[in-house]
C-alpha cells in the first residue's frame, strides 16, 4: 500500500479523497493555488504545498509544479479526482516516468477514451451501440453546416476533448450550427487546450444514463449498475440518482455488458463511467467514457455499499477487486443534488464572495453531504462554483426524495447566492416525482429561467401559521421591555393579518410557552418549537407533523424558505395592513441604456466600438467566469455611445460595459 498520496485537486473532491485515505491510514498531501491558501482541503491534509498563482493553468494544471510537490513531500501516488488533470495522458505518463503511481487508468486507456472521436470508433468495434454522426474532426463553420445538413437537424456539436457541458452546442438550423461551431471550439480550446469539434445526431427527448465500471490490473472487470443523470441545465448535471426509474432488468443488463465490453477493449483499470443516451423506448447509444471518478459517484456508493475511492486506491496498488459481478447488489435508492454558488433568480449567474453563514444538513443514514468549503471561506471566481453535494437515501425512490427535501430545507448558506431553492423545486416537481425525465426537462419547465414565483408552496397555510407564531413571539419579547409606565404597559393583541404573496390571511394567535395556537378560518393549528430568536433554522411540529424551515427577519419582513419556496411575509395589525395598501410602490432605476456585466468575470471579447449600430441578438461581449464563456447579446437596436470596459479587465456584477446614445 502507498505511503503517502498527493491529491492533485481542490475543493469537495479533494476533501472526499482525504477522508478515505485517512480511514485507510494513508497520509495525504494537498496542493493549492495562492487563491486557495485558506481552503478546507488545505486544512484537512496532513501536508500542503502551494503550486502557483490563482489561474488553473499556472497551478492545478501545472504538471511540473505538481511533480515538484510530490518530490518535496515524498508522495508515492497521486489521485487526480475529477476535472483538472484527471484525464490528461501527459500527466499520467509523466507520473509513471517519475516512478509515481497514478490512481486511475492507464495513459493508453485515457487517450483512447478521452478523445471522443477515437472512443466512438473503438465502441463500434467492441459491439457497443453508437449515435449516428460524423466522427471526424471538422475544420470550419462551413464544413460543420454541410455535415449537419447531411446528418439532419437537430445536431449536437461537441468538443472532442470536452466534458462537463463545456464545448457543447445544440443546433437546429444553419445559423445555429455556424455559431455553435465557433463557440464550442473556442470554449473547448480555452478549457482543454484542444479546439477539435465533431457532430452527431441529437436524440430528441433523450435521457442521460451512465454505467459505473470498475477494473483491476489482473483483468477483472465489473459494473455497478447505472446512474440516471438526465436532470441537466445547459448540458451540466444538476440532480442524479441510482437506480434509473426508466430501466428494466433486461436493459440494465445489456447496458452493463456493453459498458464492460468497451472497458475490456482498452484493458481498463480503476473506476470509470460509460455514458449512454437513451430514448423513451429504452434504445441506448454510447455517448462517451469518463476515465475518472465521477462527481455523482456517491449515489452508486450509497446503493452498492462500496467506497469507490478506496477501491481505486487498492486497484492502483496492485490488489485484485474484492468482489465479482455476481456479488454486486443494489439496495434502496439514492439521489444527489449539486449545490452551486450561482443565482437561480438571475439566470444562474455565478456568485463569488465570502460564506458568511454555512450550515450544511446533519448527516445520518439517509443524508450525506460532501463539501469543500466552510463558514468564513471564500468562493473564488477562478474555479468551479460547486459548494457541496447533498445525497439523499431511502428504501424507495419516494423515500429518497423525502430525505433530499428534508436535507435541502436544512441547508443554510448566506454571503453568496446559491441554487438550493431551485434544487428543492426540482425535487418537488411533478415530472421529477413521476420519473418522467429527459435532459430537456429543466429547459421545458423553466423556459424563461427560474423565478421565486415559479415555486408555489404545497401548503401556504403552513407558511402563514409559522409566520404568525414567530411574530407573536417577537411581539411578546418586545412587550417585556423594562421601565414601562404603570398603566401604560404594551399589550400584544391576539388578532393579526398575515400578508403572503399579496393575499391577506386574518389569524388569531395564543401563546403557551413553547406552544402557539394559530386560529385561521375556524381551524386551530398547533405550533411547537424550541426555536430561539436569531436561529436560521426552525425545527418543530405543526399539528404534530415535523417541520424544518429557514427563517430570517428583514426589517418588517420574515423570509421563509421551505420546499423550494422563498417568500417574504409581513404580519401586521388590521389597521397597519389597511394603511400599507395605500403606500406607493418605488420604481426601479432605468438601466436600459447600459450593458451591465451580469456576473463577476473576465471580459475576454468586445465586439463593438463607440459609434457602432447594433441590432437585437447581435453579440456585444463575452465574459469568462468559472471556466465558462458567457455571451452578452444586444436586446434592442441602437447606437453605442461610450465604452467603459477594456478587454482583459476583471468586471464586477452590474459594472457598466457600454452605454447607448
**Catalytic residue numbers?**
288
Neighbours of 332 (CB within 10 A): 17
Residues 6+ away with beta carbon under 8 Å from 130: 120, 123, 124, 285, 286
The number of helices, as runs of H, and strands, as runs of E, in the chain is: 17, 39
Q: Which three cell numbers stand for residue 553?
A: 427577519
Whole-Å CA distances, 102 to 70, 97, 586:
12, 11, 60
* Separation of alpha carbons 173 and 162, rounded Å: 23
Burial pattern 560-590, b for ≥16 Cβ within 10 A else e, equals bbbbbbbbbbbbbeeeebeeeeeeeeeeeee
Partnered with residue 236 across adjacent β-strands are 233
Compute and round to an integer the Cα radius of gyration of the chain: 27
Neighbours of 363 (CB within 10 A): 13
The H or E element containing residue 182 is helix 174-192
CA atoms within 13 A on the CB side of 546: 7
CA angle 271, 81, 344 (to 5 degrees): 110
* Separation of alpha carbons 280 and 278, rounded Å: 7
Whole-Å CA distances, 437 to 11, 244, 561, 584:
30, 10, 26, 44
Nearest to 423 by CA among 397, 443, 450, 399: 450
Cis peptide before 175 (omega within 30 of 0): no
Place of cell 483499470: 269
Q: Which three cell numbers stand for residue 257?
A: 455488458
Q: Which three cell numbers stand for residue 36?
A: 486557495
Q: Which three cell numbers stand for residue 615?
A: 441590432
* Separation of alpha carbons 9 and 32, rounded Å: 8
Cis peptide before 243 (omega within 30 of 0): yes
Backbone angles phi, psi at 296, to 5 degrees: -90, 20
Residues 6+ away with beta carbon under 8 Å from 121: 135
Q: Which three cell numbers stand for residue 589?
A: 432605476
Q: Are 619 and 632 in contact (CB under 8 A)?
A: yes
How many residues are given for the chain? 661
Residues 6+ away with beta carbon under 8 Å from 652: 597, 600
Query: What is 394-425 written as a DSSP string?
Result: ESSHHHHHHHHHHHHHH-EEESS---HHHHHH
Beta sheet of 613-614, edge-to-edge order = 594-596, 656-660, 638-643, 613-614
Amino acid at each position: 500500500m502507498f505511503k503517502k498520496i498527493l491529491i492533485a485537486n481542490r475543493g469537495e473532491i479533494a476533501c472526499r479523497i482525504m477522508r478515505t485515505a485517512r480511514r485507510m491510514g494513508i497520509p495525504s498531501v494537498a496542493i493549492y493555488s495562492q487563491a486557495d491558501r485558506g481552503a478546507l482541503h488545505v486544512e484537512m491534509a496532513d501536508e500542503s504545498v502551494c503550486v502557483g498563482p490563482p489561474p488553473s493553468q499556472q497551478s492545478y494544471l501545472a504538471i511540473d509544479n505538481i511533480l515538484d510537490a510530490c518530490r518535496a513531500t515524498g508522495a508515492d501516488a497521486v489521485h487526480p479526482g475529477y476535472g483538472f488533470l484527471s484525464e490528461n495522458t501527459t500527466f499520467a505518463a509523466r507520473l509513471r516516468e517519475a516512478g509515481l503511481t497514478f490512481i486511475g487508468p492507464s495513459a493508453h486507456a485515457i487517450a483512447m477514451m478521452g478523445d471522443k472521436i477515437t472512443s466512438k470508433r473503438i465502441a463500434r468495434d467492441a459491439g457497443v451501440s453508437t449515435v449516428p454522426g460524423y466522427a471526424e474532426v471538422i475544420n470550419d463553420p462551413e464544413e460543420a453546416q454541410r455535415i449537419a445538413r447531411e446528418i439532419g437537424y437537430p445536431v449536437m456539436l461537441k468538443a472532442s476533448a470536452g466534458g462537463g457541458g463545456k464545448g457543447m452546442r445544440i443546433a437546429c438550423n444553419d445559423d445555429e450550427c455556424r455559431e455553435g461551431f465557433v463557440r464550442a471550439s473556442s470554449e473547448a480550446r480555452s478549457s482543454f487546450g484542444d479546439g477539435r469539434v465533431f457532430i452527431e445526431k441529437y436524440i430528441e427527448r433523450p435521457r442521460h444514463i451512465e454505467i459505473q465500471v470498475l477494473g483491476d490490473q489482473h483483468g477483472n472487470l465489473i459494473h455497478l449498475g447505472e446512474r440516471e443523470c438526465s436532470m441537466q441545465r445547459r448540458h451540466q448535471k444538476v440532480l442524479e440518482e441510482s437506480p434509473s426509474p426508466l430501466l428494466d432488468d433486461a436493459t440494465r443488463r445489456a447496458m452493463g455488458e456493453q459498458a464492460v465490453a468497451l472497458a475490456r477493449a482498452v484493458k481498463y483499470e480503476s473506476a470509470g463511467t460509460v455514458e449512454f443516451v437513451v430514448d423513451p423506448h429504452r434504445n441506448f447509444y454510447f455517448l462517451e467514457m469518463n476515465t475518472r471518478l465521477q462527481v455523482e459517484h456517491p449515489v452508486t456508493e450509497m446503493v452498492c455499499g462500496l467506497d469507490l475511492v478506496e477501491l481505486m486506491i487498492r486497484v492502483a496498488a496492485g490488489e485484485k477487486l474484492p468482489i465479482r459481478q455476481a456479488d454486486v447488489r443494489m439496495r434502496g435508492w439514492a439521489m444527489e443534488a449539486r449545490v452551486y454558488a450561482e443565482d437561480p433568480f438571475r439566470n444562474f449567474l455565478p456568485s463569488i464572495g465570502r460564506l458568511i453563514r454555512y450550515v450544511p444538513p446533519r448527516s445520518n443514514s439517509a443524508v450525506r453531504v460532501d463539501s469543500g468549503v466552510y463558514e468564513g471561506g471564500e468562493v473564488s471566481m477562478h474555479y468551479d462554483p460547486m459548494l457541496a453535494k447533498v445525497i439523499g437515501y431511502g428504501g424507495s425512490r419516494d423515500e429518497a426524495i423525502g430525505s433530499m427535501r428534508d436535507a435541502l430545507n436544512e441547508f443554510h448558506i448566506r454571503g453568496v447566492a446559491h441554487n438550493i431553492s431551485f434544487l428543492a423545486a426540482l425535487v418537488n416537481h411533478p415530472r421529477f416525482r413521476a420519473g418522467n425525465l429527459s435532459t430537456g426537462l429543466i429547459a421545458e419547465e423553466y423556459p424563461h429561467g427560474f423565478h421565486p414565483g415559479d415555486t408555489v408552496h404545497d401548503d401556504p397555510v403552513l407558511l402563514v401559521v409559522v409566520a404568525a407564531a414567530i411574530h407573536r413571539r417577537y411581539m411578546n419579547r418586545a412587550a417585556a421591555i423594562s421601565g414601562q409606565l404603570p398603566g401604560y404597559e404594551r399589550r400584544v393583541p391576539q388578532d393579526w393579518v398575515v400578508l403572503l404573496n399579496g393575499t391577506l390571511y386574518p389569524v388569531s394567535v395564543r401563546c403557551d410557552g413553547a406552544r402557539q395556537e394559530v386560529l385561521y378560518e375556524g381551524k386551530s393549528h398547533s405550533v411547537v418549537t424550541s426555536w430561539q430568536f436569531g436561529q436560521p433554522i426552525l425545527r418543530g411540529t405543526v399539528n404534530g407533523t415535523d417541520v424544518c424551515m429557514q427563517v430570517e427577519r428583514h426589517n418588517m419582513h420574515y423570509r421563509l424558505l421551505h420546499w423550494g419556496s422563498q417568500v417574504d411575509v409581513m404580519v401586521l395589525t388590521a389597521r397597519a395592513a389597511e394603511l400599507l395598501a395605500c403606500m406607493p410602490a418605488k420604481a426601479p432605476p432605468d438601466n436600459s441604456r447600459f450593458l451591465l456585466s451580469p456576473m463577476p468575470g473576465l471580459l475576454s471579447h468586445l465586439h463593438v466600438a463607440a459609434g457602432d449600430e447594433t441590432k437585437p441578438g447581435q453579440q456585444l461581449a463575452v465574459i469568462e467566469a468559472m471556466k465558462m464563456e458567457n455571451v452578452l447579446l444586444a436586446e434592442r437596436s441602437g447606437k453605442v455611445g461610450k465604452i467603459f470596459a477594456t478587454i482583459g479587465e476583471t468586471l464586477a456584477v452590474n459594472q457598466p460595459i457600454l452605454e447607448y446614445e
